Amino acid sequence: MNNNIKKLWQLINESENIVFFGGAGTSTESGIPDFRSATGLYSTKYENIPPEEILSYNFMMTNQDLFFEYITKYLIHPDAEPNTCHNTLVELEKEGKLKAVITQNIDNLHQKAGSKNVLELHGTVYKNYCYQCGKKYTLEEVLARESESKPTPICDECNSFIRPDVVLYGESLNSTTIIETEKVLHDADLLIVGGTSLTVYPAAAFIRYFKGQNLVIINKTETPYNNEAVLVINESLGAAFNMKHR
Ligand code: ZN
């Protein structure tokens, strides 16, 4: 086994308060495309509009059908299954070593794998609510209301539209999630950052709240925090974060 992976597992075994901070790379091995790589979602325009524009608050308010068409087509993956990384995190949480998973993903795969303390910085497509009256809807209920001719899901109570509980461009992160994220990072002794290039702000700025000794980065490409890490592993998460290396 590669020495870096051996070192990773030594650190995990010696630590008592681990936090995992993950990005799109956590889910690519489950078949969910990432955003920013060469083949990622953001490399392809939709109806000649850049995805960053579609996934904005203004666009949702002004081009609803196209907004929902895009979300359903590209951001909802009901058949995706958790992978090795998700499953390893579940085991470490059960052992009491892992205190929280902080994720930039909106795909619910950590919960599907069985993780309990998951902080979703960008929300989740699995929760939805009416823009007007706030009535809550599950993803299944939303999908049942959508059709090809009418992609925008409509609330039964007030006829407004039902929006996903995700943080769009132009919106702020949830304040309760921010506070909890800062707290778990502050208390951690080992922070493992995986599958993210740490270039998306404000999410990436949270790394500053970590005060522990051991920052580990597992990512195929370089990140701005590499020189602060005690260990950098340029491999897939599935390869590194596998219990069989323990
Ligand atoms: Zn409503």
CA distance 127 to 162: 10
Compute the mean pLDDT over every residue in the chain, rounded to the nearest whole number: 94
The pLDDT value given to residue 1: 65
Given pLDDT bands bounded at 50, 70 and 90, which one contains residue 46?
Answer: confident
- The candidate with the shortest Cα–Cα distance to 84, out of 55, 113, 60, 105, is 113
* Cα 156 to ligand 1 centre (Å): 6
Residue 42 phi/psi, 5-degree rounding, is -75, -5
Query: Percent of the chain scored above 90 by pLDDT?
Result: 85
Centre of ligand 1 to C-alpha 131, Å, is 7
Average pLDDT over residues 114-123: 97
Per annotation, catalytic residue among 77, 122, 186, 245? 122
Residue 47, judged by CB atoms within 10 A of its CB (0-12, 13-18, 19+), counts as exposed
> 153 C-alpha vs ligand 1 centroid, how far in Å?
11
The answer to whether residue 121 scores a pLDDT higher than 70 is yes
Nearest CA to 23 out of 109, 115, 103, 117 is that of: 103
pLDDT at 130 over 90: yes
Identify the pLDDT of residue 129.
98
13-40 pLDDT, tens digit each: 999 999 999 999 999 999 998 876 666 7
pTM for this prediction: 0.94
Strand partners, 56: 169
Distance from Cα 96 to the centre of ligand 1, integer Å: 41
Helices first, then strands: H and E counts in the chain: 10, 9
For 92-111, what is each residue's pLDDT tens digit?
Answer: 999 999 999 999 999 999 99
- Kindly report, residue by residue over 176-232, the tens digit of the pLDDT: 999 999 999 999 999 999 999 998 777 789 999 999 999 999 999 999 999 999 999
Instruction: Give the residue-averaged pLDDT of 62-67.
Output: 96
Burial of 97 (0-12, 13-18, 19+ CB in 10 A): middle
Q: Per-residue confidence at 154, pLDDT binned at 50, 70, 90?
A: very high
Instruction: Spell out which residues have Cβ within 5 A of ligand 1, the ion.
Output: 130, 132-133, 135, 155, 157-158, 160
Pairing mode of beta strands 231-233, 118-120: unpaired
